[in-house]
């Protein structure tokens, strides 16, 4: 991903609620990252979204009573993303590999299995924290240990588990990576009851800018109770 690439993130919206700030659409604070996700355990913040608006909407845990709003972020620097949606085909067990081939067939087979695990649907419930462990461990290795041209990567693109043919995206980004305008710093400092310098302190390296927000679906009205 280069600069000025768009990333979409969908959020549920309650009736009477307005999502408008970069923090409303960006990754949650660490203290609210209490639920395990497909690629991150509780306590580890990542930015889940897509470079496709429809896929971002499909990936949310949708409550039909709530509305849906989508925030569009733009990257402000080059971001290196591992694209697992375009892997070469895996080789058959008995298939011969030419001596000139530079493909590591075992690494390729591992990546195909990883991709399959990412696309597998996991029913919400008590087993989530168990079923997600294998993909969380591999993702953590890519996030912290893997190097591309001696540098860490910024995220992974993978096939959506909820939208056939869709592509999802996880960025290794937290709230400090979200750009804030001076006015947004003032507004959020007041809303969060923190000092403005706390929000400005990490802005030098922030690289995700909210450029658009759109309501895709309004929340449903509560049915009126009739008097008896």
pLDDT in tens, 159-190: 998 899 999 999 999 999 999 999 999 999 99
> H or E element: which one contains 26?
none
Name the region of 84 (left: φ>0; alpha: ψ -120 to 50; beta: rest): alpha
Q: Please, which pLDDT band fits residue 42 given cuts at 50, 70 and 90?
A: confident
Q: Please, which pLDDT band fits residue 69 given cuts at 50, 70 and 90?
A: very high
Task: Please give the distance of CA 165 from its chain centroid, rounded to a whole number.
Answer: 17
Quick: pLDDT tens for 3-39.
679 999 999 999 888 899 999 999 999 888 888 888 9
Q: What is the pLDDT of residue 146?
A: 93
Name the region of 149 (left: φ>0; alpha: ψ -120 to 50; beta: rest): left
Q: Which residues of the chain form beta strands (DSSP E)?
A: 6-13, 47-49, 67-75, 81-83, 155-159, 167-171, 208-217
Report the side by side order of strands in the sheet with 81-83. Answer: 47-49, 167-171, 155-159, 81-83
Q: Where is pLDDT greater, at 174 or 95? A: 174
Q: What whole-number distance in Å separates Cα of residue 170 and Cα of residue 104?
A: 25
Q: What is the pLDDT of residue 16?
A: 87
Q: Please, which pLDDT band fits residue 225 given cuts at 50, 70 and 90?
A: low
Mean pLDDT over 89-111 rounds to 77
Q: What whole-number distance in Å separates Cα of residue 224 and Cα of residue 204?
A: 50
Quick: pLDDT tens for 181-216.
999 999 999 999 999 999 998 899 999 999 999 999
Instruction: Report the candidate in 53, 66, 69 with the shortest Cα–Cα distance to residue 18.
Output: 69
pTM, rounded to two decimals? 0.87
Q: Where is pLDDT greater, at 115 or 92? A: 115
170 and 159 in contact (C-beta within 8 Å)?
no
């Amino acid at each position: 991903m280069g600069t000025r690439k768009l990333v979409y993130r969908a959020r549920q919206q309650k009736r009477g609620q307005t999502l408008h700030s970069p923090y409303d659409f960006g990754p949650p604070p660490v203290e609210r990252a209490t639920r395990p996700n497909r690629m991150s355990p509780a306590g580890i913040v990542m930015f889940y979204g897509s470079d496709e608006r429809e896929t971002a909407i499909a990936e949310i845990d949708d409550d039909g009573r709530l509305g849906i709003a989508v925030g569009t972020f733009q990257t402000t620097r080059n971001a290196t993303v591992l694209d697992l949606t375009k892997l070469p085909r895996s080789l058959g067990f008995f298939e011969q590999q030419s001596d000139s081939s530079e493909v590591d067939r075992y690494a390729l087979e591992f990546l195909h299995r990883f991709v399959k695990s990412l696309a597998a649907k996991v029913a919400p419930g008590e087993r989530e924290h168990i079923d997600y462990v294998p993909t969380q461990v591999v993702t953590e290795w890519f996030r912290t240990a893997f190097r591309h041209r001696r540098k860490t990567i910024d995220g992974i693109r993978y096939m959506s588990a909820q939208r056939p043919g869709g592509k999802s995206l996880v960025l290794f980004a937290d709230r400090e990576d979200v750009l804030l305008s001076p006015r947004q710093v003032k507004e959020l400092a007041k809303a969060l009851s923190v000092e403005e310098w706390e929000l400005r302190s990490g802005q030098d390296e922030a690289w995700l800018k909210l450029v658009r927000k759109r309501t895709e679906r309004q929340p449903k009205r509560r049915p009126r109770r009739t008097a008896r």
